[in-house]
């Protein structure tokens, strides 16, 4: 799950995620709930219908609650996660579910002392390139790093790396933009 989504979570999503995090921590279920929420977010990203259900005011709260609980049960999510999804839907907060999932993910990473990094490249990284980059990042930030990779052909080449709020842009597209700007000023 992308860390950047956690930064855009609404205040309500953050509160719900915080409450779920504390409850899951008390029950020793942090890992299970984190996995469940990642699964749910994946289902939403793969399904326009689920995304529409979460965000559309055309569905009643009751219909959303029944449908979301049924989806969670069919996906074999834990009772704690299924209850959380149902509670958010019952309270009219289904549109905040993905934000809450992303914020929970950020809280879980912080709890484990893990930094999140996103590497965007023009083509897929090889396993060896990924492993080397993770090693360099682990040394640079002084803690374990979970690396998410994304492909963006518009970068032409090079890499964009985001760790927290820090962006390092060593892409060819950015270099070309800088050269273009410099030439306009000359």
Q: What is the CATH number of the domain that holds 59?
A: 1.10.520.20
Q: Of 29, 38, 30, 20, which Cα lies nearest the Cα of 75?
A: 38
Question: For the chain, what is the domain count?
Answer: 2
114 touches 144 (CB < 8 A):
yes
Together in a domain, 67 and 81: yes
Q: Are residues 14 and 86 in the same domain?
A: yes
Q: Which among 86, 110, 134 is the end of a domain?
A: 110
Asked if residue 12 and residue 65 are part of one domain, the reply reads: yes
Query: Does residue 61 share a domain with residue 11?
Result: yes
Question: Tens digit of pLDDT for each residue in 97-114?
Answer: 999 999 999 999 889 988
**Quick one: 95 and 121 in the same domain?**
no
Do 22 and 106 reside in the same domain of the chain?
yes
For residues 14 and 106, membership in a common domain is answered with: yes
For the chain, give the mean pLDDT: 91
CB distance 96 to 13 below 8 Å? yes
* Beta-carbon contacts of residue 104 (< 8 Å; ≥ 6 apart): 17, 20, 21, 33, 34, 37
Instruction: Give the least confident one: 41-50, 89-98, 162-171.
Output: 162-171
Check whether residue 128 and residue 96 sit in a common domain: no
Which domain-ending residue is among 84, 110, 136?
Answer: 110
Give the total residue count for the chain. 186
Query: Residue 151: is it exposed, middle or buried by C-beta count within 10 angstroms (0-12/13-18/19+)?
Result: exposed
* Same domain (yes/no): 98, 27: yes
> Are residues 45 and 100 located together in one domain of the fold?
yes
Percent of the chain with pLDDT over 70: 95
Indicate the residue among 58, 75, 110 that finishes a domain: 110
| Boundaries of domain holding 28 | 4-110
Is 2's pLDDT higher than 60?
Answer: no
Question: Confidence class of residue 144 from pLDDT cuts 50, 70 and 90?
Answer: confident
């Amino acid at each position: 799950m992308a860390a950047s989504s956690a930064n855009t979570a609404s205040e309500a999503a953050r509160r719900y995620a915080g409450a779920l995090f504390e409850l899951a921590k008390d029950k020793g279920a942090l890992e299970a709930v984190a996995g469940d929420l990642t699964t749910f977010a994946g289902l939403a990203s793969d399904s326009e219908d689920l995304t529409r259900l979460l965000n559309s005011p055309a569905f009643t709260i009751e219909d959303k609650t029944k449908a979301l609980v049924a989806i969670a049960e069919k996906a074999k999510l834990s009772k704690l996660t299924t209850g959380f999804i149902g509670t958010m839907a019952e309270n009219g907060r289904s549109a905040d579910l993905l934000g809450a999932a992303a914020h929970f993910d950020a809280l879980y990473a912080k709890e484990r002392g893990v930094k999140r990094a996103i590497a965007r490249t023009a083509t897929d990284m090889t396993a060896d390139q990924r492993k080397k980059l993770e090693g360099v990042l682990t040394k640079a930030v002084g803690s374990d790093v979970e690396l998410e990779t994304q492909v963006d052909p518009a970068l032409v080449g090079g890499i964009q790396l985001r760790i927290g709020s820090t962006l390092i842009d060593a892409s060819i597209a950015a270099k070309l933009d800088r050269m273009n700007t410099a030439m306009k000023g000359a």
